[in-house]
Amino acid sequence: MPRPAATVLLLRDDPDGRLQVFLQRRVKGMAFAGGMTVFPGGGVDASDRAGVAWEGPEPAWWAERLGCDVDEAAGFVLAAVRETFEECGVLLADGASVDAATLARARDDVAERRRAFSDVLAELGLRVRADLLHPWARWITPIVQPRRYDTAFFTAIVPLGQEADAQTTEAVEATWWTPSAALEAFRDGEIGLMRPTRTILSDIAAFPDAAALHAAAPTDAISSILPMVVEGLPDVLLPGDEGYDLDVAAGRAPAGGHR
């Protein structure tokens, strides 16, 4: 079964008011997506399912939007907040009263698994700001991959007074891109983009700024996207593409007849 994971499209506007998204180039030797340029994120931990102080839409609301049960929805949201904190230093919680040095130590502890994120939040008296996240998409790794994830994608605008950084051991570089510039760099062979990242960048490239994109989050339940790998094709097929068959993509039927 694919492991639940969460990814965040961290957003801001550049000095000219254009939409930018934070992207990281992962270390080449990593078991999953090594060397790829990705949005921040990672797998759901067992501690992400623990009860925490929560502000914003409750897990039941997220469960409806993400098409999953309440516990899984809470895991997706908490993993999104935790991974954004670990990998970017951006805390989607009401942490304005906590000094920077304390937050830096907490970040290191969480990243090194010395303390659970839920324990850090409780000790510092912080509430998760689920209202700062909007659901965007849900992608499942193709069945032919040895390491698979069921990933919920969220959007979030960097809170006022916070800055995203590159202080994570999982990436060799991290910076802000306009979606169109990232896609151009991919076409020129300068960066690698997995299909979900590339598709989402293409989808959001038309939005003028962070507020417009963040406000465009789907209001209905999100359907999971399971790419279909076809031998001989240079790219996967997605729902709506000619030749896509969900039963084949899910391994419930043979791939005969697909070219």
DSSP string, the chain: -PEEEEEEEEEEE-TTS-EEEEEEEE-TT-TTTTT-EE-SEEEPPGGGGS---EESS-HHHHHHHHTS-HHHHHHHHHHHHHHHHHHH----BS-TTS-HHHHHHHHHHHHTTSS-HHHHHHHHT--EEGGG-EEEEEEE--TTSSS-EEEEEEEEEPPTT-------TTEEEEEEE-HHHHHHHHHTTSS---HHHHHHHHHHTT--SHHHHHHT--SSPPPPB--B--TT-SS-B-TTSTT--HHHHTTSS--TT--
- Check residue 33 and give its pLDDT: 64
| Same domain, yes or no: 106 and 149 | yes
pLDDT category at 258 given cuts 50, 70, 90 is: very low
Residue 257 pLDDT greater than 80, yes or no: no
DSSP collapsed to 3 states, 184-223: HHHHCCCCCCCHHHHHHHHHHCCCCCHHHHHHCCCCCCCC
Domain harbouring 77, CATH code = 3.90.79.10
Containing structural domain, residue 90: 3-220
Residues 134 and 249 in one domain: no
**150 and 258, same structural domain?**
no
231 and 211 share one domain: no
Q: For residues 150 and 76, what is the distance between their CA atoms, to the nearest angstrom? A: 10
Specify whether 257 is located in the same domain as 188. no
Q: Which residue has the tokens 């506007």?
A: 13
Question: pTM value?
Answer: 0.94
Residues 234 and 212 in one domain: no
Joined together, the tokens standing for residue 129 give: 């700001």
Section 73-82 average pLDDT: 96
Number of structural domains the chain divides into: 2
Task: Provide the percentage of residues in the chain whose pLDDT is more than 70.
Answer: 95
Q: What is the pLDDT of residues 83-107, one digit of tens each?
A: 999 999 999 998 657 888 999 999 9
Q: Output the pLDDT for position 30.
A: 62
Domain identity same for 139 and 249: no
Give pLDDT, residue 51: 79
Confidence class of residue 193 from pLDDT cuts 50, 70 and 90? very high
Cα distance between residue 62 and residue 71, in whole Å: 10
Q: Which two tokens stand for residue 179?
A: 């979606």
Measured in whole angstroms, the distance separating CA 127 from the mean position of its chain's CA atoms is 20
pLDDT for 256: 64
User: What's the pLDDT at 95?
Assistant: 66
Q: Which tokens hold the place of 201?
A: 């960048």
**Residue from 232, 244, 238, 166 nearest 202 by CA:** 238
User: 179 with 245, same domain?
Assistant: no
Is there a single domain that holds both residue 199 and residue 250?
A: no
Same domain for 150 and 242? no
Q: Tell me which residue has tokens 């038309």.
A: 206
* Under 8 Å between Cβ of 140 and 2: yes
Same domain, 93 and 16: yes
Instruction: Please compute the mean of the pLDDT values over residues 53-62 and round it to a whole number.
Output: 94
- For residues 136 and 100, which has the higher predicted lDDT (pLDDT)? 136
Closest CA to 151 of 41, 37, 243, 229: 41
Same domain as 169, residue 248 = no
Confidence of residue 196 (pLDDT cuts 50, 70, 90): very high
